[in-house]
Amino acid sequence: MPDYLIRHATLRQLQVFEAIVRLGSFTRAAEELFLTQPTVSMQIRKLTDAMGVPLFEHVGRNVKPTEAGLEMYEACRRMFEILANLEMKVADLKGMKRGRLRLGVITTAKYLAPEILGQFSRLYPGIELALKVTNRERIIERMHANEDDLYIMGQAPEGQFEVDTFHFAPNPLVLIGPRDHPLVGKKNISLEQVSKEPFILREPGSGIREAALRVFSSQGLRPQVRMELGSNEAIKHAVVGGLGLAVLSLHTLTLEGIDGAVAILDVEHFPIMRQLYIVHPKGKDLSLVDRTFLEFKVVSVPWIRIRMDSLWPRLKSLLKDSKKNTASRKKRAKK
């Protein structure tokens, strides 16, 4: 038994400590935990006294954990994971649909995840929800650090660690331009022609960026990147502002539709037929809440498809073609 720590440290102090290390700042930890900054400082002072070694060092205006602080952080993460699982298991035993669901999603999924969570929470109002939206690379990092319960992403991470994936919805990536662009309305535009136009690209670490660059390079081409932007919404505005063409998921057009200021261009090799998956690390101990959400996603699939089909009626035949192509590719590979 860790007799000394049991008598001298509290779980609340460890929670405050964990938040400071994770967020890199006393102020942000205070905000996240709804505490005042003096309370946070006091908790850390008490914890430092109990440990008898400094837990933080100041680097300029930032704080960094010392070596002892890093050891403590690792221990806290493991302890909190075990305690969170215990809470969920007790809730499971009580047979209650209560608890917490933390969902980490790629930027494209923010155009459907909030609606799904809305429906989910109408059925299970007792479940606390948290949604983190970021790019593919950050989602993979979060999965490594076990920061969320389930993830929505475009393609399972390859080679880094094993995951279970559950298909969720199609995620076609389309080439877009401003409504008044001369290529709007043209049929089967060559990729070469597009590569001569100024182009707006997502930031490094984005899955859409990777997928778009892959299509260009598979044809020995490179887009003329005029600008990099870290947000799908900013990209739409930049497209409308005439800064260039771009590749985005069809889902990003859900609210404004495809007849507005942003137009879909008919370009060869597009749309890129990606999919969205719910993902979790293999072997993860799923709570009742996680399992309930996984079952619930089945309910969401039909309305997402209906919404996509009415947004872009051409999608139905494109999806059929892509299914046929995949089936014949598989057949060829077997021979």
**Contact positions toward ligand PGA, by CB under 6 A?**
106-108, 135-136, 153-154, 171, 202, 206-208, 274
Residue 245 DSSP SS3: strand
Provide, rounded to whole angstroms, the least separation between the CB of residue 159 and ligand PGA.
Answer: 16
Residues 205, 134: Cα–Cα separation, whole Å: 10
Residues 202, 231: Cα–Cα separation, whole Å: 7
Q: Work out the number of other CB atoms within 10 angstroms of the CB of residue 179.
A: 13
Provide, rounded to whole angstroms, the least separation between the CB of residue 186 and ligand PGA.
Answer: 26
Give 117's Cβ-side CA count (13 Å radius).
Answer: 21
State which residue, 131 or 184, has the beta carbon closest to ligand PGA: 131
State which residue, 208 or 264, has the beta carbon closest to ligand PGA: 208
Provide, rounded to whole angstroms, the least separation between the CB of residue 139 and ligand PGA.
Answer: 7
State which residue, 13 or 107, has the beta carbon closest to ligand PGA: 107
Provide, rounded to whole angstroms, the least separation between the CB of residue 264 and ligand PGA.
Answer: 17
Residue 271 DSSP SS3: coil
Using DSSP, how many helices (H) and how many strands (E) does the chain show? 12, 11
Residues 104, 133: Cα–Cα separation, whole Å: 6
State which residue, 248 or 267, has the beta carbon closest to ligand PGA: 248
State which residue, 116 or 208, has the beta carbon closest to ligand PGA: 208
Provide, rounded to whole angstroms, the least separation between the CB of residue 202 and ligand PGA.
Answer: 5
Provide, rounded to whole angstroms, the least separation between the CB of residue 252 and ligand PGA.
Answer: 10
Residues 196, 284: Cα–Cα separation, whole Å: 47
State which residue, 108 or 287, has the beta carbon closest to ligand PGA: 108
User: Alpha helices of the chain — where are they, by DSSP H?
Assistant: 3-8, 11-23, 26-33, 37-51, 67-93, 113-123, 136-144, 191-194, 207-218, 232-240, 288-311, 315-334
